[in-house]
Amino acid sequence: MELYYDKNLTIPAEKSNEYLIDYYYKYRDEALIYTVQKERFNGLFTLEAKFYSKDENEGRNYTNVLYMPKVRIVSNINLRLGERADPTVSTFNIIGMPETVGD
């Protein structure tokens, strides 16, 4: 791999330096939607999610963490990707499996 200082690829960069490279990809459309079929998820997964809520009494905002150690995905998942698109996942359905709890 060769590094250059300019977009015309005429001034090569020195090989002894360390570089941080930031790049962008220009999408043709505003967003792409991928559908992952439920048949692809034929195992058990761990679900960890973060959501925000507001206290009804004091009006404080709280960060909540939801952790489910065993879930089965039972619907398709639609992923929306794009440069200006919000990186969100549409609604999908799961079944939570109980964990064995010792006495």
How is the chain split into domains, by residue range? Answer: 32-96
Tokens read off for 36:
């992952």
Higher pLDDT, 74 or 79: 74
What one-character-per-residue DSSP string does 11-42 give? SBPPTTS----------SSS-EEEEE-GGG--
Alpha carbon distances (Å) from 18 to 7, 12, 13, 22, 78: 19, 14, 10, 13, 39
**Rounded mean pLDDT of the chain?**
78
The pLDDT > 70 percentage for the chain reads 72
- Per-residue confidence (pLDDT) for residue 13, from 0 to 100: 76
Kindly state the tokens that stand for 20.
């941080």
Query: What are 21-67's pLDDT values in tens digits?
Result: 666 555 565 677 788 888 887 888 898 988 889 888 888 899 999 89
